[in-house]
Structure formats: structure tokens, C-alpha cells
């Protein structure tokens, strides 16, 4: 075992991998396989040879002849044989061998092999809590003082609030990533993903103990944890319903513990992107928390409705990063997919037909298909439609399913071209590639829920295996899990504390062929999946973030929950809450079409002459001469 690890390290470190010099080696999930689940490893230099699986006593339990190697473009020239040992269905610890050489890492098989990973991926959110001390009881050696009380947050001029002395209480919430900012857009997709994980697997998550301060109450721990962030998001809503874009300092803090990062924090920007994301998430939350906290549930739906109204009245307010602010921008999130998503969520909990009608402005077509991320939430609305066939009209449900299956089938098809057996392609390897991989897993899990076809669950399991070690670097990208985990993530508390190992349960961003930071020397156009640097200086390949952990938690949590309960989400389940949402205006904006009038400024931008106007917050907007807004 030691031997194979040394080989893997050598492969990782050498610029030119030369596997022919070595005995066979294998890349595999380093954490665990479900007893009845798919089990595969990617083996290098073993085509035609026998891969022998031995149990802890050294008895041979299975022999598989390694098939021919197939290259996997993102891994460059290290072609692999995909060795399938799914047949091994007895819990225990095993080791694979080729001849006398052990290959890969210990293989752990158990019914609950993915439970600790599920808990770890969710516990990450507790470690990211702002405004509270993490005590030893819940954080162990990662205990730390409270950071960022955020009880006196100022309003940046970009919020439209001009009283420079005014403050509000914006406490709680999760730090976004390796930095200490709190951003509504990114929180939006994160919270939705986690709420869906719970919604679709209630039985499993009802009693799953995350060992957090609220573990003793009656509410499932996963919901307690999510509420920590919802409570903060609610503070970001202005009195007129609009939602501030983010709560950060003006510049990123240095590499210090949270309590040492004491610069003034501001609410910055107020625009439609954050507002739509907020409306969608609050609508879903109103339903999920209804059985546990009626008052909170009501507060959520009212907040959603107020946000939606503001969004309609302020259609053209896009967030732009103000000068002097250099924290994460999260600009450019697609507007109408977010609006469609919020209408769908509000319709789901209200059954109000006018919301359904309004959502039809945007046809559901394959044209927009593409994996969800913080910039585009089109798929989130589609998941809700497809998994609620009794609530939405049949043609909408059919269209949503067509999009989901089309994507899932593309992924499954792409696996044929991969000796690693992975539905990941060259173009997936940009900033946050592990988040992209996990989000593809979320598409596949939905395809499985909707069809019960094994191939989708298996493809999702392959993505999980990739993140946990079935990759050409032999790395488990989940801190604290696996033989060879990420050790130096870009994560301020992990860098600034005195503990050697990073906070556990964090998914590193992963290989990014376009990284321009200190990982640049490792970027490799010919082997994009190796463009990774396990060094905290690399925010572009090794930062952690809530929007990557959430789809990972969704992926691993769904796979474990489906195995543990033996069932998938019942799509005939009705929402528990029913709220009235009064008729809402649909289109309004004063700046919807800006006809050029005398006195307005014409400017040359790029190659084009454009009309420049200021919106009500004094932010400049640009329109072409036909009156259509351009960005």
C-alpha cells in the first residue's frame, strides 16, 4: 500500500508522468463504497492483467481482468483500464493487487460507507458560521472565538441608502468560502441545493446527527444548520423588499482568524439578481420549515413576496461592483432564469395560477440546458417542476424532464470516452471544477429519481468517486477524508489556526486550466484535470466555497440516503404549506425600453453608440439605439 502511494506521489510530482517505469497503479475512491453500489477503479498499466482483490486476511475474493486502456482527455496521456468490482458485495476492507504489487488504496465497503462523508460535508457549514463561537464540544480542535458579530453593519452608498451613520444587524450566516464575505447570490443556490437534499430525503435526514449546538432540539440538524444562513439572508432585505447583494468589508481581510478580521462591514448593492435568488429560496424555505416553525415559515413567504414585487418594479437594476470595493463580485448572474425559478417556487407553495401563468413567459426548452451554477439557476426551477408532476401542467413537466434527461444522457454518453469512467469533459475544468462535477451529479440524481434507471445513479457515483480520489492526481479533494486528501486549501481559518490539518469536510475548488495565480505553473492544457496546486496561495484551484460543498453534500447525501432507505423521493408528495400570494404585477420597469430623447447622453462604448441613463439609484445603464438595454 505504501508502495502504491509512493508511485502516485511520483506521478503527481513529475511533470512528465512515465507510468511505464512503474508497476501498475490505481486511482479510486479513497473513502468508501456502498455494499450494493457500483465499485470501480481506474488502473494504469494493467490492460490484460489480472487485478486480484484480497480481503483483510489475504484471501482472494475476486479476480477481474483489466480491460483495454482508454485515454481520458482531461487526464492527458495516462490512459486507464476501468476495472469494475461491483460484484464484491460483502462489507469489509480489501486491497487490490496486480501480481505481487498492491495497487490503489484500501477499499472500504459498508452499508453506511458514505455516512461520515455526508455528515462531514454538512458539518462544513457549521465551521463556516459567522457571529458565533465554535466551542470544543462541536468543533473539537477547530474550536475558535466568535468572528464578525455583524451587529452594526453600515450601508454602502450603492445600496441607495445615503445615511452614512446608519447601521443594521446582519449577523449569522455562513462565510462564503476562504474569505469572510457573505453573498446573497451564492447563498441562494447553496441553500436551495441543501434544502432539496433534505426535501428529497426526509426520512434519512430526520435523525442524522451533525453534533451542532441545536442537535438536541426537535428540528432535523440539517435544517437547523440551513436556518443559520436563512436568518442572515432575511436581514439582507431592505424595508422596500429589495435585497442587498452582499455583506462584506471593502477589501478582503488578510490571512487571520475571523475574530482578528475587524474592518467595518457594509451591505453593498441592491439589485435584482440577489432579489430573485432570495425570493426563490425563501419560498422553498416557507414550505420546508412549516411543520417545525409556523411563524418562521410565514416570515419566509412574506419576505419572498415582497422581494418578488421589488424585483418586478426594478427590473433593470443589475449589480455592478462599486469602485473601491474589491471583495467577491458575483456579478452577471442570469436574470430571467432566476426570475422564472422564483415564480416556480412561489407557485409551488401557493398554487396561485397567476404565478404559473407569469412563468410561462419563458418556454422550457433544450436551448437553455446547462449545468446549474451561481450564474445560472435555470435548472433549479426545472428540478422543482419535474419533481412536482401533480402541481405543474403536464407539458411543463414533460419539457422539464426532457431537459434533465437530455443532459443526463449526454453525461452518460461521455463516459464511454473515458478510461476513468467519468462523465467529465475537458470544458468542465475551470474555476470550481469540483463544484461543476458535483452539480452534474445533481442532474444525474434527478434523472435517477425520475426514471429509477441504474445508469444515472452509477454515473453520479462515478462523479463522487472522482472527487474522492478516482482522478489522475490520486487526490481526495475533500479535506479530512481519504488517504491523500487536500491539505492546504485557501481557507483563512485553516491557514491562520495552529492545527496542521485543515478544517475537515471541505471540497477544494479543484483543477482549473485557466488559473492565473500561483497554480499557473501547474496548469496543463493537455491534461486539464491535473491543473491543480494543493497550496493555500491558489484561490483559483484550492479555495473552498459553500456553493461547491452544497452540491457535493447533495450528491453524497442522496446516494447514501437512497441506499439506506431503499427508496427515492416520492414525486407525488404535496407541499405541506399553502400560502396565498396576492396578484403581482408582472412587468413594469420605468426603464424597460429607453427611447432616445433629447437631452440624454449618447456615448461610444466599444464599437457602438449607446444611450446612457441613470437609474433611480444613480447607477448608469446603457441602451442601444433601439431602446434595448445592453450590459
Q: Across the chain, which distance is largest between two alpha carbons, in Å?
A: 88
Q: How far apart are CA 595 and CA 131, in angstroms?
A: 48
Does 539 sit near ligand 9MR (CB under 6 A)? Answer: yes
Does 320 sit near ligand 9MR (CB under 6 A)? Answer: no
**Beta carbon of residue 108, minimum distance to ligand 9MR (angstroms, whole number):** 31
Q: How far apart are CA 44 and CA 41, in angstroms?
A: 10
- How many chain residues are in contact with ligand 9MR, going by CB under 6 A? 11
- Cα distance from N-terminal residue to C-terminal residue, the chain: 55
| 126 backbone dihedrals φ, ψ, rounded to 5° | -65, -45
- Cβ proximity to ligand 9MR: between 273 and 543 the closer is 543
Is 179 known to be catalytic?
yes
**Beta carbon of residue 539, minimum distance to ligand 9MR (angstroms, whole number):** 6
Q: Which of 115, 176, 352, 534 is catalytic?
A: 534
- Is there a contact between 243 and 274 (Cβ–Cβ < 8 Å)? yes
Q: Which of 179, 225, 238, 428 is catalytic?
A: 179
**Beta carbon of residue 543, minimum distance to ligand 9MR (angstroms, whole number):** 4
Is 543 known to be catalytic?
yes
Is 409 known to be catalytic?
no
- Cβ proximity to ligand 9MR: between 312 and 545 the closer is 545
**Among 464, 545, 563, 581, which residue sits at the site for ligand 9MR (rule: CB under 6 A)?**
545
Q: What x-and-dash track marks residues 134-173 binding ligand 9MR by CB under 6 A?
A: ----------------------------------------
Does 428 sit near ligand 9MR (CB under 6 A)? Answer: no
- Is there a contact between 314 and 244 (Cβ–Cβ < 8 Å)? no
Stretch that binds ligand 9MR, among 175-183, 384-392, 463-471, 518-526 (CB under 6 A): 175-183
Nearest to 581 by CA among 353, 239, 243: 353
**Beta carbon of residue 210, minimum distance to ligand 9MR (angstroms, whole number):** 24
- Cβ proximity to ligand 9MR: between 542 and 610 the closer is 542
Residues 321 to 350 in contact with ligand 9MR, rule: CB under 6 A: 328, 330
- Cβ proximity to ligand 9MR: between 234 and 546 the closer is 546
The residue number whose beta carbon is nearest to ligand 9MR equals 328
- Cβ proximity to ligand 9MR: between 179 and 221 the closer is 179
Among left, alpha and beta (phi > 0; psi -120 to 50; other), residue 618 is left
**Beta carbon of residue 160, minimum distance to ligand 9MR (angstroms, whole number):** 23
Q: How far apart are CA 195 and CA 212, in angstroms?
A: 18
C-alpha cell at 93: 476492507
Nearest to 21 by CA among 6, 33, 32, 1: 6
**Beta carbon of residue 181, minimum distance to ligand 9MR (angstroms, whole number):** 6
Q: How far apart are CA 493 and CA 498, in angstroms?
A: 9
Torsion sign, CA atoms 16, 21, 23, 24? positive
Residues 177 to 236 in contact with ligand 9MR, rule: CB under 6 A: 177, 179, 181
What are the helix (H) ranges across 479-620? 492-496, 539-542, 546-565
Burial status of residue 492 (CB atoms within 10 A of its CB: 0-12, 13-18, 19 or more): buried
Q: Which of 148, 156, 490, 491 is catalytic?
A: 490
**Among 182, 477, 543, 613, which residue sits at the site for ligand 9MR (rule: CB under 6 A)?**
543
Neighbours of 280 (CB within 10 A): 30
Q: Which residues contact 312 (CB under 8 A, 6 or more apart)?
A: 584, 585, 586, 587, 588, 589
**Beta carbon of residue 161, minimum distance to ligand 9MR (angstroms, whole number):** 23
**Beta carbon of residue 457, minimum distance to ligand 9MR (angstroms, whole number):** 28
- Is there a contact between 332 and 611 (Cβ–Cβ < 8 Å)? no
Query: CA torsion, points 554, 559, 564, 568, in degrees to nearest 10?
Result: 80
**Beta carbon of residue 265, minimum distance to ligand 9MR (angstroms, whole number):** 15
Q: Which residues contact 171 (CB under 8 A, 6 or more apart)?
A: 130, 131, 148, 149, 150, 151, 232, 235
Is 259 known to be catalytic?
no
- Is there a contact between 122 and 133 (Cβ–Cβ < 8 Å)? no
Does 273 sit near ligand 9MR (CB under 6 A)? Answer: no
Does 176 sit near ligand 9MR (CB under 6 A)? Answer: yes
Q: How far apart are CA 631 and CA 625, in angstroms?
A: 14
- Cβ proximity to ligand 9MR: between 46 and 253 the closer is 253
Residues 105 to 134 in contact with ligand 9MR, rule: CB under 6 A: none
Active-site annotation, residues = 179, 490, 534, 543
Residues that bind ligand 9MR (CB under 6 A): 176-177, 179, 181, 328, 330, 431-432, 539, 543, 545
Amino acid at each position: 500500500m505504501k508502495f502504491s502511494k509512493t508511485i502516485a506521489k511520483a506521478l503527481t510530482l513529475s511533470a512528465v508522468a512515465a507510468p511505464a517505469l512503474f508497476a501498475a497503479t490505481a486511482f479510486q475512491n479513497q473513502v468508501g463504497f456502498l455494499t450494493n453500489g457500483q465499485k470501480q477503479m481506474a488502473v494504469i498499466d494493467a490492460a490484460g492483467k489480472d487485478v486480484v482483490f484480497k480481503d483483510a486476511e489475504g484471501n482472494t475474493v475476486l479476480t477481474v481482468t483489466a480491460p483495454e486502456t482508454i485515454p481520458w482527455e482531461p487526464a492527458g496521456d495516462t490512459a486507464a483500464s476501468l476495472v469494475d468490482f461491483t460484484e464484491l458485495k460483502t462489507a469489509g476492507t480489501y486491497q487490490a493487487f496486480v501480481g505481487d504489487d498492491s495497487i490503489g488504496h484500501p477499499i472500504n465497503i459498508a452499508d453506511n460507507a458514505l455516512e461520515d462523508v455526508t455528515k462531514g460535508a454538512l458539518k462544513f457549514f457549521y465551521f463556516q458560521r459567522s457571529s458565533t463561537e465554535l466551542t470544543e464540544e462541536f468543533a473539537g480542535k477547530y474550536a475558535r472565538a466568535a468572528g464578525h458579530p455583524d451587529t452594526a453593519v453600515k450601508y454602502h452608498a450603492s445600496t441607495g441608502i445615503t445615511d452614512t451613520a446608519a447601521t443594521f444587524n446582519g449577523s449569522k450566516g455562513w462565510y462564503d468560502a476562504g474569505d469572510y464575505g457573505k453573498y446573497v447570490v451564492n447563498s441562494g443556490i447553496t441553500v436551495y441545493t441543501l434544502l432539496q437534499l433534505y426535501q428529497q430525503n426526509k426520512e434519512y435526514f430526520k435523525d442524522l446527527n451533525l453534533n451542532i449546538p441545536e442537535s438536541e432540539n426537535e428540528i432535523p440538524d440539517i435544517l437547523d444548520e440551513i436556518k443559520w444562513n436563512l436568518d442572515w439572508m432575511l436581514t439582507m432585505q431592505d424595508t422596500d423588499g429589495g435585497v442587498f447583494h452582499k455583506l462584506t468589508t471593502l477589501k478582503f481581510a488578510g490571512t487571520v482568524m475571523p475574530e482578528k478580521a475587524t474592518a467595518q462591514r457594509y451591505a453593498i448593492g441592491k439589485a435584482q439578481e440577489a432579489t430573485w435568488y432570495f425570493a426563490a429560496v425563501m419560498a422553498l424555505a416557507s414550505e420546508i420549515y412549516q411543520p417545525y416553525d409556523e411563524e418562521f415559515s410565514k416570515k419566509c413567504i412574506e419576505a419572498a413576496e415582497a422581494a418578488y414585487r421589488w424585483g418586478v418594479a426594478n427590473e433593470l437594476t443589475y449589480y455592478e461592483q462599486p469602485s473601491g470595493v474589491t471583495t467577491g463580485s458575483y456579478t452577471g448572474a442570469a436574470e430571467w432564469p432566476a426570475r422564472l425559478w422564483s415564480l416556480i417556487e412561489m407557485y409551488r407553495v401557493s398554487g396561485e395560477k397567476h404565478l404559473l401563468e407569469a412563468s410561462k413567459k419563458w418556454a422550457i426548452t433544450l436551448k437553455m440546458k446547462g449545468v446549474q451554477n451561481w450564474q445560472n439557476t435555470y435548472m433549479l426551477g426545472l428540478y422543482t417542476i419535474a419533481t412536482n408532476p401533480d402541481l405543474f401542467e403536464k407539458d411543463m413537466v414533460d419539457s422539464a424532464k426532457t431537459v434533465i434527461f437530455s443532459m443526463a444522457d449526454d453525461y452518460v454518453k461521455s463516459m464511454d470516452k473515458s478510461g476513468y469512467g467519468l462523465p467529465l469533459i475537458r470544458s468542465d475544468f475551470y474555476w470550481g471544477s469540483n463544484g461543476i462535477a458535483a452539480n452534474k451529479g445533481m442532474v444525474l440524481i434527478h434523472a435517477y429519481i425520475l426514471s429509477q434507471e441504474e445508469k444515472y445513479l452509477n454515473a453520479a457515483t462515478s462523479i463522487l468517486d472522482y472527487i474522492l480520489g478516482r482522478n489522475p492526481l490520486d487526490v481526495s479533494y475533500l479535506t479530512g477524508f481519504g488517504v491523500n486528501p487536500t491539505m492546504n486549501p485557501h481557507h483563512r481559518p485553516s491557514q491562520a489556526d495552529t492545527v496542521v490539518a485543515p478544517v475537515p469536510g471541505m471540497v477544494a475548488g479543484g483543477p482549473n486550466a485557466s488559473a492565473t495565480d500561483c497554480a499557473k505553473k501547474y496548469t496543463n492544457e493537455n491534461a486539464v484535470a491535473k491543473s491543480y496546486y494543493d497550496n493555500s496561495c491558489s484561490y483559483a484551484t484550492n479555495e473552498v466555497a459553500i456553493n461547491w460543498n452544497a452540491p457535493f453534500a447533495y450528491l453524497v447525501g442522496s446516494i447514501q440516503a437512497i441506499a439506506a432507505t431503499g427508496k427515492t423521493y416520492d414525486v407525488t408528495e404535496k407541499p405541506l404549506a399553502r400560502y396565498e400570494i396576492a396578484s403581482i404585477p408582472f412587468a413594469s420597469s420605468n426603464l424597460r425600453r429607453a427611447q432616445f430623447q433629447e437631452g440624454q447622453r449618447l456615448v461610444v462604448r466599444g464599437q457602438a453608440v449607446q444611450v446612457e441613463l441613470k437609474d433611480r439609484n444613480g447607477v448608469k445603464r446603457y441602451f442601444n439605439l433601439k431602446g434595448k438595454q445592453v450590459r
